[in-house]
Structure formats: C-alpha cells, structure tokens
Structure 1
Amino acid sequence: DSRGIGYVVAIRSDVTVHPHDAQPITPSWSGNGRRPQPRYRDKPSSVATLATDRGQQAFTEVTWREGSRGAMRSHFMAVRVRPAGVRVRRLARAAATARGGCWDGVLPEATLLVEWPEQAEEPTDYWLSNLPADTPIAELVRTAKIRWRIEHDYRELKHGLGLDHFEGRSWTGWHHHVTLVTAAHAFLTEQRLAPKADTADSPSTRSSTPSRTC
C-alpha cells in the first residue's frame, strides 16, 4: 500500500475481518491509568464464516478466460471489509506514525474476493485486494486467476530456457545468467503474442519482420 502497488493476494480461510462500515470506539477515560485506545468492540469473523453466512445466492458467475477445454468460469463474491488481527493493527499504527500523525484506530479497507464453485459444498478460495472499490468483479477475478500464467512462465524459464542450469560461483555470473534467460523469455513472449503474417506482404511487428538490405 505504501508503495502504491495494487495487488490481489490469496489468503487462508481463517483470516479475520470486520465489516467495511465498522468503526472503532474509544471508551471514556476515568482519569486513572492510561487513556483507553480506540478499538473495534465487535469480534471479527473469519472470511470463511462471512462467505458461508451470506450463502451461495450472493455469488455470481464470472468467466475469466478461455481454456483448452472451453470457458473458465465459476461463482464469485466481492465484498468490502477491514482486515483484522494484531499484525494488521501494528502495520496501520506504524504507517500513521511514519506520516507524522497519531493512529485513530481505523483499519484500512480492502476488497474480499471469494470463489464458491457451483458443485462445492463451501467456498474454496479467498483473496484480498487493495484495488479501487469500484473495480468490476470480473477484473478482480481475472487478476486473481492470472497466477496460472505466472506459474507457466516460471516453468518455461526453468525447464525451457535453463534458469536452473547455472553452475557458476559468483553473484555477477548469476545475474548475467538470469538477465539472458529473462531476455530470451521476453523475446519468445513477444513472438507468441505478435500477429502472424499470412503472406509475405502482410503487416507484421518489427521483431518478426525479416531485415532487408537496400
């Protein structure tokens, strides 16, 4: 968040959250001891409980891409929440301190994305995202599911282009090796995505156009 990087990250079903409209309450100070800190007085619920309580009728069907066996689709729900837990509170307090202010006890909002396949008895996957609240659910799902592409690319880097074949003994050599493998992968990706020329006179991308001499 502090770096301004958007994310959709997979989480476990026991991660706890508050409703997005929950607000911390500061009890009145009696005059003795430390002043009470603002806290959310209602106990947070796990994302699994939240999704199950809403029921499968709250989920909508979303298609995110075409697979080898047809359209990839399932049922999803997106809801605004405030992630809870000690670690989240500490991070929020540290962020407020870094800005030179005092933490008011308000936890940051996020979007909870849940997948509940039609034939499953309960939700199967959960994600948290800091993308804007008005991000369409189809975009959230597409971003969450793009992990398969990353895993495919890594497998191609490792087995097809030799990422794990380095046998040197220096960081410089390792970085040279990774750079060359990455460049090769970028070239192959560009070739895969480039429009295919039907004839010799068809338009093509610069990288797939043969060089000519005058």
Structure 2
Amino acid sequence: MKKREYRHKGGKRVREALADGEKKPVAVCDFAKNLNDHFWYGRTVSEGTKGPVVYEFTRRRVTLSRDGLPWKEVCPDVRRSPGKKTGYTFYISNAPLSTRLGTFVWLNGIRWAAEQCFGEIKSELGGDHYEVRKYNGWHRHMLTCVLAHFFLWRIKIKLEKKSALTHFATARNASRNRTADENILCNGNH
C-alpha cells in the first residue's frame, strides 16, 4: 500500500492506495465464474409453472472495494442458473456472517410469493391509492392493505376447504343412495 493525497471540500486528505504491483479489484461476476464447481450447492427453490426452479448457490467471504480501495468485508450470496446460459446474481445482506446458506436459499424462493402478494395488494386492494405526505400515513395505509389481503386470503382458504368438504359429502351421499337403489333392483323389490 502507498499513501495518496487528494482534495476533498477544499482540504487535503491522505488515503491508502494499492501499489502498482498489487492486485486489482475483481468484479463479483468474474469471481463467481472462476469458482470451482464443488463450491456450488444446487437447490430447488420453488415450483414454477414449468416444473421445479433450480439454482446453484455459494457464499464466500470477500472484501468490497470503493474507488479501487479495500472497503469492507462481506459475504455475498451468489446465485447461478445451471445450464448453457449461466447467469449470475448476487445479494449482499446485512444478516450476521454466521447465517446459514439454507436461510438465504429459502428467502430467495419466497421472494416470488412476496412480489405476488404486493402485486395483488396494489391491483385488488388499492395499495397504490394513497395520498399521504408522511411516512406514518403511508405505513398505516400499507399495513391496513396487507392485513386486508391476509384476511381475504384466509377466508378464501376456508371457503375452498368448506366447498371441498361439501362436494365430498354430496358425492358420498350420492354413492350411498346409488348403492341402495342397486340393492332394491337386485332383490327385486321395487
């Protein structure tokens, strides 16, 4: 490391910089491409319309850089899609470094459900129809919309169960009546 002077807001400051022979920062995508295959863990994230959604994940401790200088140490969660067209996505979390990779895999899978929930809130319950000027008003409006969505979701589940039970009971009674009619016909009692 060598010291480099620069000006900031009219004053002189000193910053440590990389010497000419030292390594340059590497992009996360390039870092991920150079990882050995046994560092990647394949996981089924969720069920999609075309079958299971499978990604490969890894988590490595790296040092981020700012302006070409070491900045802070983090553990980005890197995701890649297996196959011919491999795309890389990475997330930097404020979770503790001891958080397990499985937790991030689960959160990655549940993201679609959360996006769908907010989409339904905006389109069906007026989540985007607010006229507030402060955060507290917006927060109350969104909380009310989320609670209304949860309430309607629970009612829908209960009605589907009730409908399924009613359908099952009706089908069972119909089969019992059919059996009694068949018995009458077989015994010759009309």
Report the TM range for the smaller structure's normalisation. Answer: 0.5 to 0.7
What is the aligned counterpart of 1:128 among 79, 92, 99? 92
Out of 108, 113, 117, the position equivalent to 2:72 is 108
Percent of aligned positions that are identical: 24
Equivalent residue, structure 1, for 2:82: 118
Within 2, Cα distance between the matches of 1:108 and 1:193? 47
Q: Map 1:169-180 onto structure 2 (within 5 A).
A: 171=133, 175=138, 178=142, 180=144
User: In structure 2, what is the Cα distance between the partners aligned to 1:85 and 1:122?
Assistant: 27
Distance, in Å, in 2 between the alignment partners of 1:43 and 1:187 is 54
Tell me, yes or no, if structure 1 residue 185 matches structure 2 residue 149: yes
Whose relative contact order is higher, 1 or 2, with alpha carbons under 8 Å and at least 6 apart? 1
Compute the displacement of 1:184 (Å): 0.8
Which amino acid in 2 is paired with 1:139?
Answer: T
Deviations, residues 97-126 of structure 1 (Å, cap 9, x unaligned): xxxxxxxxx733211222222213433322
TM-score by length of 1: 0.53
Q: Which one of 33, 55, 58 corresponds to residue 52 of structure 1? A: 33
Per the TM alignment, residue 165 of structure 1 is displaced from its structure 2 partner at its CA by 4.9
Q: CA shift at 1:132, angstroms?
A: 2.5
Q: Determine whether 1:74 maps to 2:50.
A: no
- Whether contact under 8 Å (1:26, 1:36) holds in the other structure is no
Is residue 63–residue 74 contact of structure 1 (8 Å, CA) maintained in 2? yes
Structure number with higher helix proportion: 2
Is 1:65 aligned to 2:65, yes or no?
no
Whichever structure has more strand as a proportion of its residues is: 2
Equivalent-residue separation in structure 2 for 1:46 and 1:170 (angstroms)? 41
| TM score, norm. by length of structure 2 | 0.58
Unpaired runs of 5+ residues, structure 2, are 4-11, 166-190
Distance apart, 1:54 and its partner CA: 1.5
For the pair shown, the structure with the greater C-alpha radius of gyration is: 2
Q: Distance in 1 between matches of 2:156 and 2:77?
A: 31
CA RMSD of superposed structures (Å): 3.8
Distance in 1 between residues matched to 2:150 and 2:36, nearest whole Å: 44
Matched, 1:139 2:107: no
Q: 1:148 aligns with which of 105, 112, 115?
A: 112
Q: How far is the alpha carbon of 1:26 from its aligned partner?
A: 6.3
Q: Distance in 2 between matches of 1:193 and 1:71?
A: 24
Unaligned runs of 5+ in 1: 1-24, 28-33, 90-105, 200-214
Structure 1 runs of 4+ off > 6 angstroms?
A: none
Instruction: Provide the aligned length of Structure 1 versus Structure 2.
Output: 149
After TM superposition, the structure 1 stretch with the greater mean CA deviation from structure 2, 65-74 or 115-124, is: 65-74
